[in-house]
Each structure stands twice: as structure tokens, then as C-alpha cells.
């Protein structure tokens, strides 16, 4: 059963740790600091800490130090390899875990990685919650993400004041692994939608249709949605500033296709979308927004 939480929380100077200050993590950590929480942060590239330090966040030298200094620590990391390295590496999360400590991993990873990390944390007496999010840079900045949590229910409740500053909708999905599965399903759909959307814009352009007219027609009917409206306008402007990196979408599609293999579920469209994003990444668009797949699809003759 999915439980939706909408209640307003109080911060009461609760202490949180935050590991991983990329596009998403830095925005989320900033919201925690601005909400009045005492926040300790760590990032592999220390230069990303400065803005948060100026706001009042404390800096830590290692992930271990963050875990040791905070009752509950959040992480937002790029991929399964990064999540495993921060957890199992030297001076990592496991080196700081002690009984009762809470570890909330918001990274988008495969269910097996989430379960592996969760099992290792609980074996040390800690508590584990996975909490991947649906949303990109702007929702992260605005605190309007959709949070897909699963795992330790007591940690879910304890982390709620922080989660409420990050998201507009917070779901508890049961056992560890369900959050990761939900995130992969959602991003698989989003990636497939973006791929066919860009193919439609490219085809329309090649046959002489005005992009503004295509966008107007789509926005006026049953296919209207916020992603097409926002990204369509940016694509028309040639603006591919990164809100959600294309390389991360390709990673999520790859993981979703892998999940389909495990479940013996054919995913013809998702597999094709994965190849399209893989091609765009190979053409050098990996660090641009995932809408930059349009540049790979609509490349000049």
C-alpha cells in the first residue's frame, strides 16, 4: 500500500548530514540549511561545499565524519558505483555507522544496490531508507520533488521534517527495493516520452512544419503535459542547460531494461529509447540536459 504524507513538519533544530552536492544534492541541502536545520555536508569535489558553507552548513572531511556527527544522513549520488563507493569505501558510510544511526540514500540505483547497502547498514545496527526522487533541478530548488521512500519506517518518520522541505509528495512504498523499482519505472516512461517527442519535433521540422505550431497542437490536446510544455520551448530556443543530465537518463534506462530482464518483462520501447540516449551520449551530449537527445535525433543531413 502507498501512504501519501502531506503534513507540515517542524524543524526543531534537527541535525542532518548530506553527502553528494551535485545538481540535485546541492539544491536539496541548501533547502535544509535555509529551513533552519543544522546540516553537515561532504562532497568528493570540495569546491562545491563553499556556497553551503557560506549559508552556515558545516563541512566534513569524509563520509564517515558526516555519519558520526549526525543522527540522520541523506545522500544523493550519481549512480550505483558512486553509491557503493561512498558506502563501502575507506572512511565511508559503514565506517561511521553505529547502532541507531539513520542513512537515507536518495540516489537512483538498481534495487540490488539499494538492498546491498541497506543490508550492510542494518548489519552494523543502523537504519536504512531508500528515497529516490522524481524531479529535476527546478523542483529540487523549490522543494517540490516527489519522494519515493522504502525501508525502515521509524527512519522514515524521523526523517520526515527534512523530507517535507524537499518534496511536495512523499510516498512510503514498503520494503527496501520498492523505491528503486518505482523510480526506474517512472524514469523509463519519462525517457521514452522525451525520445518520441524529440523524434516528432525533428520529423516535423524536416517536412516543413513550424515547431511552435507542433508544440501548440500537442499542448492543446490529450498529450499536453508539463514536460513537453517546458522542454519543447527550451528545445525550440536551442537551450539545453542541464536540469537532468542526459548521461543519468541513459543510466536509468539501462537499469530499467535490466529490471525488465529480471522480471521477464519485454521492454521494446524502453530498449529503443536506451539506445537513442546511448547514441546521444556517444555524440558528446552526456553532460547536457536529457532533452539534448533532440540534437542527436535532428542532426543535419
Query: Percent of the chain at pLDDT above 90?
Result: 91
Calpha distance 263→258 (Å, rounded) = 9
Distances 74 to 28, 35, 65, 105, 233 between C-alpha atoms, Å: 10, 16, 13, 6, 34
pLDDT in the model for residue 47? 78
pLDDT at 1 over 50: no
Give helix 246-263 / helix 178-206 axis angle, nearest 10°: 120
pLDDT at 102 over 60: yes
43 and 67 fall within a common domain: yes
Active centre residues (catalytic): 183
pLDDT at 290 over 90: yes
201 and 232 fall within a common domain: yes
Mean pLDDT of 226-251: 97
118 and 224 fall within a common domain: no
- pLDDT-derived band at 101 (thresholds 50, 70, 90) equals very high
151 and 11 fall within a common domain: yes
107 and 239 fall within a common domain: no
pLDDT in the model for residue 11? 42
161 and 212 fall within a common domain: no
Domain final position from 118, 142, 174 = 174
pTM of structure: 0.90
Query: Higher pLDDT residue, 12 or 171?
Result: 171
pLDDT in the model for residue 9? 44
pLDDT in the model for residue 49? 74
Residue-wise burial string across 197-226, b where 16 or more C-beta atoms lie within 10 A, e elsewhere: bbebbbebeeeeeeeeebbeebeeeeeeee
Q: Which domain holds residue 57?
A: 3-174
Ranking 2-6, 89-93, 94-98, 265-269 by mean pLDDT, the lowest is 2-6
pLDDT at 284 over 50: yes
Backbone dihedral angles phi then psi of residue 109, each to the nearest 5 degrees: -135, 175
64 and 7 fall within a common domain: yes
- pLDDT-derived band at 13 (thresholds 50, 70, 90) equals low
pLDDT in the model for residue 4? 39
pLDDT in the model for residue 294? 98
CB-CB contact of 211 with 40 (8 Å): no
Instruction: Give CA 220 to chain center in angstroms.
Output: 30
- Give the CATH number for residue 121: 3.40.50.720
85 and 199 fall within a common domain: no
Tally of structural domains, the chain: 2
Domain final position from 174, 206, 230 = 174
- Give the CATH number for residue 230: 1.10.1040.10
Instruction: Give CA 186 to chain center in angstroms.
Output: 11
97 and 7 fall within a common domain: yes
Mean pLDDT of 52-59: 93
pLDDT in the model for residue 214? 98
pLDDT at 10 over 60: no
The predicted-structure confidence for 204-226, as pLDDT tens digits, reads as follows 999 999 999 999 999 999 999 99
The predicted-structure confidence for 108-148, as pLDDT tens digits, reads as follows 999 999 999 999 999 999 999 999 999 999 999 999 999 99
CB-CB contact of 140 with 23 (8 Å): yes
272 and 141 fall within a common domain: no
pLDDT at 5 over 90: no
Amino acid at each position: 500500500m502507498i501512504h501519501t504524507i502531506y503534513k507540515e513538519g517542524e524543524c526543531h533544530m534537527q541535525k542532518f548530514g548530506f553527502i553528494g552536492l551535485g545538481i540535485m544534492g546541492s539544491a536539496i541541502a541548501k533547502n535544509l540549511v535555509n529551513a533552519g536545520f543544522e546540516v553537515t555536508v561532504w562532497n568528493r569535489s570540495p569546491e562545491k561545499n563553499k556556497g553551503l558553507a557560506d549559508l552556515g552548513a558545516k563541512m566534513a572531511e569524509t563520509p564517515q565524519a558526516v555519519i558520526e556527527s549526525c543522527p540522520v544522513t541523506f545522500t544523493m549520488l550519481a549512480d550505483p558505483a558512486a553509491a557503493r563507493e561512498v558506502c563501502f569505501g575507506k572512511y565511508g558510510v559503514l565506517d561511521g555507522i553505529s547502532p541507531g544511526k539513520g542513512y537515507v540514500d536518495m540516489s537512483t540505483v538498481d534495487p540490488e544496490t539499494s538492498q546491498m547497502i541497506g543490508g550492510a547498514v542494518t548489519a552494523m545496527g543502523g537504519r536504512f531508507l531508500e528515497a529516490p526522487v522524481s524531479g529535476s533541478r527546478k523542483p529540487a530548488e523549490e522543494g517540490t520533488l516527489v519522494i519515493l521512500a522504502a525501508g525502515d519506517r521509524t527512519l522514515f518518520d524521523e526523517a520526515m521534517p527534512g523530507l517535507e522541505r524537499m518534496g511536495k509528495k512523499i510516498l512510503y512504498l514498503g520494503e527496501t527495493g520498492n523505491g528503486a523499482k518505482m523510480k526506474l519505472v517512472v524514469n523509463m516512461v519519462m525517457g521514452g516520452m522525451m525520445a518520441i517527442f524529440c523524434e516528432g519535433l525533428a520529423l516535423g521540422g524536416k517536412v516543413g512544419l513550424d515547431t511552435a505550431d507542433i508544440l501548440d497542437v500537442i499542448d492543446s490536446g490529450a498529450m499536453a503535459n508539463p514536460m513537453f510544455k517546458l522542454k519543447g520551448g527550451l528545445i525550440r530556443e536551442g537551450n539545453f542547460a542541464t536540469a537532468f543530465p542526459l548521461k543519468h537518463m541513459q543510466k536509468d534506462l539501462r537499469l530499467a531494461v535490466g529490471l525488465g530482464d529480471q522480471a521477464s518483462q519485454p521492454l521494446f520501447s524502453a530498449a529503443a529509447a536506451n539506445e537513442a540516449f546511448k547514441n546521444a551520449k556517444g555524440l558528446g551530449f552526456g553532460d547536457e540536459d536529457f532533452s539534448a537527445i533532440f540534437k542527436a535525433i535532428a542532426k543535419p543531413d
